[in-house]
Amino acid sequence: MHFYSNLLLVVLATVANGQLIGSVGPLTSSSDKAAIKTCNVLDYGATNDNTTDVGQPIIDAFADCGSPDTSGAVVYVPEGDYLLDTWVHLSNGTTWALQLDGVIYRNSSPSLEGYMFTISDGSDFELFGSTSEGAIQGSGYLYHMQGDYEGPRILSVSGVENWSVHDIALVDAHMFHFVISGATNREVYNMAIRGGDSGGLDGIDVSATKFWIHDIEVTNKDECVMTKAGTQNALFENIYCNWSGRCAMGSLDSNDLVSDVTYRNIYSWSSNQMMMIKSNGGSGNVSNILFEEFIGHSNAYSLDLDSVWSSMDPVDGDGIFYTNITFKNWYGDATDGETRAPIRVICPSSVPCTDITLDKINLWTDEGGYEEYLCENASGSGYCLDTSDSSSPAATTQYINTAPVSYSAATMTADSTTAFGTAASIPIPTIPTSFYPGATPISALAGSSS
């Protein structure tokens, strides 16, 4: 297992923007925990025939193998198909793991809200699949086909310190797939997320400090991997938005803070944006951010900082103060650069953006003979930004009639040819072994020979 090499992670950004330094993940390996005690849910009344509720057996197994009274143990869901009737909330576990090698299916009958699985508080936790074939199937299509998009999310991890989630798939959530909030020292990797072709079916939403999310593939039509208010000291790396909405930051509103964040090696195919930062009024600060090594193909928009985002109701306040943000080494193409500017930096008029850097943004349009770059109330260096020291940066529109020399970029062989709908079951995917062109995944898939 690769636990120890990941635990000793030290990542430094190549510039001052966006740093994550130090160790993340569990403090104790799952193999050490299993050597102390393993609680197999089959011994607590579960059956792997997709007919009997596995929720209560997981809760009962946790009482023996994950509660604060234990000193190290594993709750084990073996291979097979399981039915989930009872939502699972496991709290205050210490030095434990949940090994998911089977596939858990949501029962279509319960009208429960909240989360199918909630892991809260405690420390030294790991949710993983030892074969990379474990999954949670939310069966959201059963509700989406009836126009119902308000229901349970699949997974929440909140308030837990020193933890990881890896080598499992999350599929077809009724709403969001994976929400992370609170605490520190977390790692998420080697995951595939599949959602329907609709808004509100986010892949991963994060509001937390000190974490590393890498080697993730998301197919949906809303947020791919999103940073929310309160995020600090974070690294997103090797993210594959495969027919998705976008990687994003926001929506930001009142007294929000985001700082020291890096997005690196982000690949977007047939998505709404490559990266979007979104707000509309409000207050707060976004600073020390790096977005580097982005590749995009056939996306509606590309680089999109929008402080007057029309899909968000205006919030009281002069706006978010965006400063010391670098976009570097972006390549690929956008669907229609004539009407959807591949570079779009729209900042609040009362709180102009400062110290913005656009460096080697080489994008070209799939349609038309030119493209636009739009900058408003934004100063810094590169492209349409105002390079003066004015307190009221000029609005600039640039028209680009010739393709950048270096815009061409590699594609991924797994690029989807169509979106998953909302009226049929979404198949459980195989977790890929490649998430960004030319980049070797940081951790081998669990159960692989490498």
Whether the predicted pLDDT of 265 surpasses 60 = yes
Alpha-carbon gap, residue 380 to 396, rounded angstroms: 13
- The single residue of 167, 174, 297, 304 carrying the catalytic annotation is 297
pLDDT for the residue numbered 435: 98
Q: What burial letters (b/e) apply to 167-182, b meaning 16+ CB within 10 Å?
A: bbbbbbbbbbbbbbbb
Of the residues 222, 304, 306, 386, which is catalytic? 222
- Residues with Cβ within 8 Å of residue 210, at least 6 apart in sequence: 20, 22, 24, 184, 185, 186, 232, 233, 234
**395 vs 305: CA distance, rounded Å:** 14
Q: Distance between CA 193 and CA 216 in Å, rounded?
A: 8
Q: Supply the pLDDT for residue 22.
A: 78
**CA separation for the pair 114, 179 (Å, rounded):** 11
Domain ranges of the chain: 28-221, 225-407
Alpha-carbon span 354 to 227, nearest angstrom:
21
d(C-alpha 6, C-alpha 443), whole Å: 8
Task: Write down the mean pLDDT value for the chain.
Answer: 93
| Helix or strand (DSSP H, E) at 19 | none
Write down the H helix ranges in 290-433. none
Q: What is the pLDDT of residues 4-43, one digit of tens each?
A: 334 334 343 333 445 677 789 999 999 999 999 999 999 9
Q: Distance (Å, rounded) from C-alpha 153 to C-alpha 135?
A: 14
Task: Mention the CATH class of domain 225-407.
Answer: mainly beta
Interatomic CA distance for residues 274 and 124, integer angstroms:
34
Is it the case that residue 116 has pLDDT exceeding 70? yes
**Model confidence, pTM:** 0.95
Where would I find the H helices in 52-116?
Answer: 55-65
Closest by alpha carbon to 29, among 100, 149, 128, 133? Answer: 128
> For 398-407, how does the pLDDT look when each residue is reduced to its tens digit (9 = 90+)?
999 999 999 9
- Backbone phi and psi for residue 422, each to the nearest 5 degrees, phi listed first: -125, 10
What number is the average pLDDT over the span 272-283? 98
- The answer to whether domain 28-221 and domain 225-407 are alike in fold is yes
**Paired tokens of 9:** 């992670």
Q: 308-326, pLDDT tens digit by residue? A: 999 999 999 999 999 999 9
Cα separations in angstroms, 224 against 239, 241, 245, 276? 9, 6, 6, 11
What does the alpha-carbon distance between residue 317 and residue 371 come to, in Å, rounded to a whole number? Answer: 33
Query: Torsion-angle region of residue 63: left (phi > 0), alpha (psi -120 to 50) or beta?
Result: alpha
Handedness of CA 380, 385, 390, 391 (dihedral sign): negative
Judge contact between 443 and 215, C-beta under 8 A.
Answer: yes
Distances in Å between the alpha carbon of 104 and those of 6, 16, 116, 132, 367? 28, 43, 10, 14, 44
Q: Is the pLDDT of residue 58 over 50?
A: yes
Residue carrying structure tokens 């690294």: 235
Element (H, E) at 92: none
User: Helical H runs in 357-437?
Assistant: none
Write down the residue that tokens 């090499």 correspond to. Answer: 5
pLDDT of 66 above 60: yes
| Interval 330-387: pLDDT, tens | 999 999 999 999 999 999 999 999 999 999 999 999 998 999 999 999 999 999 999 9
Structure tokens at 282: 């409000």
Whether the upstream peptide bond of residue 251 has omega within 30° of 0, thus cis, is yes
Is residue 297 flagged as an active site residue?
Answer: yes
CATH fold for the domain made of 28-221? Pectate Lyase C-like (2.160.20)
177 catalytic per annotation: no
Which pLDDT score, from 0 to 100, does residue 7 have? 38
Q: Which residues are bridge partners to 204 per DSSP?
A: 178, 225
Strands (E), 27-102: 38-40, 49-53, 73-77, 81-84, 88-91, 94-100
Mean pLDDT, range 283-309, rounded to an integer: 97
Residue 341 and residue 395 in contact, taking contact as beta carbons nearer than 8 Å? no
The span from the first CA to the last CA of the chain, in angstroms, equals: 10
Q: What is the predicted pLDDT for the residue at 161?
A: 96
| Confidence at residue 450, expressed as pLDDT on a 0 to 100 scale | 60
Nearest alpha-carbon partner for 123 in 71, 59, 61, 170 = 71
